[in-house]
């Protein structure tokens, strides 16, 4: 009986590892890349109202996203927000170039 329990644990571990590899493979299907260029590095980048990072992060390293249609917002509390819509194509790069303008007092 003592040999059976470690064998079960090993079998479960192998299944979990194999499933994690299959999930990673599935995520890459239909993937596109988002590249953002903006004059305000601290500005937040949102896709469909969900935060995906800061401009500085997405300028240095592109973000992998699912292919599809998105509403993009780039915002900072001291600047007017920038809005656009993109269609990210599988295997392609969706580039967004924005210039934010400061708010007037």
Domain boundaries, the chain: 30-98
**For the domain with range 30-98, which CATH number is right: 3.20.20.70, 2.60.40.1120, 3.40.190.10, 3.10.110.10?**
2.60.40.1120
Token reading at 22: 């299959």
The total number of residues written for the chain in this structure = 105
Quick: pLDDT tens for 15-54: 555 554 444 434 457 999 999 999 999 999 999 999 999 9
One-character DSSP codes across 20-88: HHHHHHHHHTTEEEEEEEES-TT-EEEETTEEEEEHHHHHHSPEEEESEEEEEEEEETTEEEEEEEEEE
Q: What is the pTM assigned to this prediction?
A: 0.71
């Amino acid at each position: 009986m003592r040999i059976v329990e470690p064998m079960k644990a090993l079998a479960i571990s192998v299944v979990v590892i194999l499933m994690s590899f299959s999930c990673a493979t599935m995520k890459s299907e239909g993937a596109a890349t988002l590249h953002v260029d903006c004059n305000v590095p601290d500005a937040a980048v949102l896709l469909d109202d969900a935060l995906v990072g800061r401009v500085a992060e997405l300028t240095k390293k592109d973000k992998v996203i699912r292919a599809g249609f998105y509403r993009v917002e780039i915002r900072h509390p001291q600047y007017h927000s920038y809005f656009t819509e993109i269609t990210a194509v599988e295997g392609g790069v969706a580039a967004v170039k924005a210039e934010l303008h400061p708010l007037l007092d």
